[in-house]
Chains A and B, each alone.
Chain A
Amino acid sequence: GYLDEQFIQLEELQDDANPDFVEEIVTSYYTDSVRLIQNIDQALAKYPFDFEKLDNYMHQFKGSSSSIGAKKVVLECSQFRKYCAAGIAEGCVKTFQMIKQEHAMLRKKLETYFQMLSSAGGT
């Protein structure tokens, strides 16, 4: 599974008065996380790595990902932070590739999910 119970709790917050809540949150997440990914990419292009800065960005990224229940992304984020703490540059680079992959995959899945919801007549 790509998402954990946090996502379910978000869906429970949605109701007739706020029918697009989850989609809104997910959209905000992608705007926010794309920006963070760009920041991290830029930081990973500078040698030597500023591990503190990378860790700060990742902390934010992990936090938002956790808020939408993106559990696979979160796992990779934790790994990235471990590499930052240990100062292992190569580990950071490899893990970040994984993060971007998971992030993109989740996005596709969520887009499909929301399309399905709206074509099902939207409850």
Chain B
Amino acid sequence: MMNMARNGVVSNRRWKSESGIDLLDSQTEAHVLAVDDSLIDRKVIERLLKTTSCKVTAVDSGMRALQYLGLVEDQRSSVVDGLKVDLIITDYCMPGMTGYELLKKIKESSTFKETPVVIMSSENVLARIDR
């Protein structure tokens, strides 16, 4: 847990931390968008991230994530201009849009393509993509 706070990256469902992204900006709280169709997993992720002093927004699908980020074509959200998301964590296996499909859409956007995206897989295969 201490490692978690220092390194701030969640890379698989066993919550083992990995060195990498420094989430804690010296000025403001990091804002993480968590995407998972399972309510239990959303609760656990939220709690886990909050112990590292991140602000967390949890949504239950890739579509909702895109809506939140203002990336759905005919539903441009006016909130987007001020929106700061420092990290996106998503489940891989979700009905509708998989985590990977969500990643692709995010990377295609001009607003969030630089935002690191972490994909979690319940098969315990590590898939972390950061461009």
Inside 8 A of B13's CB, which chain A residues have their CB? 66-67
Rounded to whole Å, the gap between the CB of A56 and the closest CB of chain B is 8
* Interface members, chain B 34-60 (any A CB < 8 Å): 38-41, 43-44, 47-48, 51
Task: Report how many residues on chain B are interfacial, defined by Cβ distance under 8 Å.
Answer: 15
Q: B44, A59: Cβ atoms under 8 Å? A: no
Inside 8 A of A10's CB, which chain B residues have their CB? 44
Q: A64, B38: Cβ atoms under 8 Å? A: yes
A interface SS class: helix
Considering the complex, give the chain B residue whose CB is closest to the CB of A14. Answer: B47
- Greatest chain B CB density within 10 A among A13, A59, A62, A66 is at A13
Considering the complex, give the chain A residue whose CB is closest to the CB of B91. Answer: A63
Q: A67, B44: Cβ atoms under 8 Å? A: yes
Considering the complex, give the chain B residue whose CB is closest to the CB of A24. Answer: B43
Inside 8 A of B47's CB, which chain A residues have their CB? 13, 18, 21
Contact of B1 among A12, A24, A62 (CB under 8 A): A12
With A9-B15, A13-B47, A13-B51 known as contacts, the answer to whether A59 contacts B93 (CB < 8 A) is yes
Rounded to whole Å, the gap between the CB of B15 and the closest CB of chain A is 6
Q: A63, B38: Cβ atoms under 8 Å? A: yes
Inside 8 A of A40's CB, which chain B residues have their CB? none
Cα–Cα, bound, A5→B14 (Å): 9
Rounded to whole Å, the gap between the CB of B36 and the closest CB of chain A is 9
Cα–Cα, bound, A12→B15 (Å): 12
CB of B122 closer than 8 Å to a CB of A: yes
Would you list the 7 A-B pairs with minimal beta carbon distance, nearest first? A63-B122, A13-B47, A67-B40, A64-B40, A28-B40, A67-B41, A29-B40
